[in-house]
Amino acid sequence: MSRPIQAIIDYSALVHNLTIVRQYAPKARILAVLKANAYGHGLLHTANALKNVDGFALLELEAAITLRTIGYQQPILLLEGFFSTKEIALVEQYQLSPVIHHAEQVSMLSDFKNHKIDIFIKVNTGMNRLGLSPKQLPQVIKELTNNQHVKNITLMTHFASADDPSEKASVLRQLRCFETITETYNYPCSLANSAAIINYPETHSDWVRPGIMLYGASPFPDKTAADLNLLPVMTLSSKIIAIHDLEAGDKVGYHGLFKADDRMRIGIVACGYADGYPRHAPTGTPVLVNNQRSRLLGRISMDMLAIDLTGVKNTKLGDPVVLWGKGIPVEEIAMYAGTSSYQLLCGLSARVDRKFLKSF
């Protein structure tokens, strides 16, 4: 028997979450964000579940080429554009749509040889991560409209705080900045990530860019995925591979970080930080054993973790344990571990088998 940990990826949940995106943004076209191996879910199966979407967005050139090679015809946006002139031939050959976010990329564009490509020009409206400054934009647009290798132009920006309910003013400031500098042009626009899709309909414009909500996690600290009618796509599960009965005073795991107050029963589960489970999850972080809620004990090891079986009915070796997903939201685990659902999902390690199920 192989090591029992696996990530079950629910195809029907992906399809469902895409319909929810459409309900939130009925007039916009959708670029499904598939960066980081589709947030850890597996690029090809995820793309297949979302195959009717209007376009894809990611950053990894190889992954973009794979999608094009296997036959996806829709726009494929490269969120960080190209990194050197060497990549330009591939961008042309596979008809990818790079983001242009700094002046150097504009001059690299003169190296294009034959084809015309679509580009997304990114404007920095206040996040100060990627994007041309509002001041630079008119000159860059002028250059690019005169560049014979450029076909269609879309203007885009990204919000710093759309997921923070107390930061509404910042989102509206960025929106106003974007509108002011783009209203003189007649180009399609793209602004909204998941949080903006849900909370700021005024940002939907022509293309929305949902990531986390497609995978069934809430972008907000104060709303659960269930509140938003989203279904978790990934369920990380494993099994109990050892059981121990402890006496009061016995300790568990590295540095004996957990100490039993009383007699108790514990289970050891085949899942550790090398699988992508957060090492900082403390004692008390919830798990599901045989569909009953229990808790982690002590320090997470590289390949194993310990859970409390006291009071959990009928436990035995081989019993299923859900670490996150169906029945136990990944956001909840993220909160206990002081991280985000994004990091947990895309941090699932390569050694964990992803098993795609049509329905689950």
Ligand X SMILES: *Cc1c(COP(=O)(O)O)cnc(C)c1O
Contact between 194 and ligand X per CB under 6 A? yes
- Within positions 147 to 186, which residues make up the interface with ligand X, using CB under 6 A? 158
Element (H, E) at 90: helix 88-93
Cβ contact 55:77 at 8 Å: yes
Contact between 208 and ligand X per CB under 6 A? no
Residue 209 marked in a binding site? no
Judged by CB under 6 A, the stretch of 66-74, 210-218, 226-234, 243-251 that binds ligand X is: 210-218
Contact between 55 and ligand X per CB under 6 A? no
Contact between 326 and ligand X per CB under 6 A? no
Element (H, E) at 327: none
- Within positions 104 to 143, which residues make up the interface with ligand X, using CB under 6 A? none
Cβ contact 18:30 at 8 Å: yes
Give the CA dihedral 39, 41, 42, 44, nearest 10 degrees: -90
Closest distance of CB 181 from ligand X, Å: 18
Contact between 193 and ligand X per CB under 6 A? yes
Contact between 210 and ligand X per CB under 6 A? yes
35 has catalytic annotation: yes
- Residue 277 amino acid letter: Y
Distances (CA, A) of 117 to 2, 124, 131: 47, 22, 19
What is the 3-state composition of the chain as percent helix, strand, coil, each rounded to the nearest 5?
A: 30, 25, 45
For 118-129, letters b (16+ CB in 10 Å) and e give bbbbbbbbbeee
Instruction: Select from 14, 33, 50, 304 the one that contacts ligand X (CB under 6 A).
Output: 33
Contact between 300 and ligand X per CB under 6 A? no
Alpha carbon 219 to its chain centroid, in Å, reads 10
254 has catalytic annotation: yes
Taking the CA atoms of the chain, what radius of gyration do you get in angstroms?
23
Closest distance of CB 354 from ligand X, Å: 19
Closest distance of CB 214 from ligand X, Å: 8
Residue 176 marked in a binding site? no
Count residues near ligand X (CB under 6 A): 12
Q: Which of the residues 35, 122, 239, 326 is marked catalytic? A: 35
Q: Which of 314, 330, 126, 156 is nearest to 226 (CA)?
A: 330
Q: Which of the residues 86, 142, 168, 254 is marked catalytic? A: 254
Contact between 216 and ligand X per CB under 6 A? no
Cβ contact 66:90 at 8 Å: no
Binding-site residues for substrate: 129, 302
Residues noted as catalytic: 35, 254
Residues making contact with ligand X (CB under 6 A)? 33, 35, 79, 158, 193-195, 209-212, 219
Annotated binding site: 129, 302
